[in-house]
Amino acid sequence: MHHKIIIIGSGPAGYTAAIYAGRANLSPVLLEGLQPGGQLTITTEVENYPGFAEGIDANELMDQMRQQAERFGTTIMSNICMRCDLSKAPYRLWLDDDTEMTCDALVIATGATAKYLGLDDEKKYMGQGVSACATCDGFFYRKKVVAVVGGGDTACEEANYLSGLASKVYLIVRKSQLRASQIMQDRVLNNPKIEVLFLTNTLGLYGENGVEGAHLVYNKGGEDEREYDLPIDGFFLAIGHKPNSETFLPWVKIDENGYIMTEGDSPRTGIPGVYAAGDVADPHYRQAIIAAASGAKAAMEAEKYLANL
């Protein structure tokens, strides 16, 4: 089946691209993928998206974007793009149900996926105490003791969120300081239920029927190096993300971390009619408002491209 434009991804970038493409009468098709709503749905309250003075629930925000995209004629499919051929137009996509689609323009807005430490115990205890989504699983740790790994904004946000549910939250930070924004640092350091463990690395996890604790090392390689066990009930990862760009290789150019490279300030990938928007092409900011703006730019570029065909 052929379409003028296909958008892959359903975060702020994908939905905004769909809204703009729909208003341009391009009849866009949007592939939601594994995580409808994107990364934003693993947070709770969004306080920094313009237009909501008191903040807005993240899932509500994404649901509103979805409805807005549909209002302007977007066809939303729950499929995943498994592989593609971007060697020439029309571009070909193969979905997870073996459907083949073609399009004249393509917006890649597949976002990024949470990173893990790479410990065997993470897989062993996945769903049994290990999680990469505090909002998804925090409820199960009410009045329990949990640990969050990471030192950035995401880690601080997850630690703060969990502090409203758990009896105690440890923030495990491998460096001597947090790298989060100052407001997020202040929230963590002034929260009596959060204890920050600086210069600390996780060696493994232990427990009979789920996570019961973590094997930690303080100041690894230093004179005062010390290994110890920390009793916890839950272990949350918040150490960054990996861009979901593999499906589009070798057609698009990526940087050393896998982010799709675009031309200057534009969403253009160098392939005529193919654009990248949102976190899959943003190694620096990774903010909903910036992702949404890049989705708008991608759709506007696509509209011009299609008009000139």
Beta strand 226-231 pairing with 91-95? unpaired
Query: Which residue has 């649901």 as its token pair?
Result: 63
One-letter amino acid for residue 30 of the chain:
L
Q: Is 130 helix (H, G, I), strand (E, B) or coil?
A: strand
Cβ proximity of 13 and 278 under 8 Å? yes
Q: What is the DSSP letter of 74?
A: P
Q: Is 105 helix (H, G, I), strand (E, B) or coil?
A: strand
Tell me which of 97, 136, 186, 255 is the catalytic residue: 136
Beta-bridge partner residues of 100: 94
Is residue 97 part of the annotated active site? The answer reads: no
One-letter amino acid for residue 112 of the chain:
A
Q: Is 118 helix (H, G, I), strand (E, B) or coil?
A: coil
Is residue 136 part of the annotated active site? The answer reads: yes
Here the tokens at position 219 are 């100041």
- Between the CA of residue 111 and those of 8, 144, 242, what are the distances in Å? 10, 32, 9
Is residue 137 part of the annotated active site? The answer reads: yes
Residue 144: φ, ψ to 5°: -115, 180
What is the 3-class SS of 165-219, one letter each residue?
CCCEEEEECCCCCCCCCHHHHHHHHCCCCEEEECCEEEEEEECCCCCCEEEEEEC
Note the helical H segments in the chain: 12-23, 58-71, 120-124, 134-137, 153-163, 182-189, 288-308
Tell me which of 104, 121, 137, 153 is the catalytic residue: 137
Cβ proximity of 92 and 70 under 8 Å? no
Question: Mind telling me the catalytic residues?
Answer: 133, 136-137
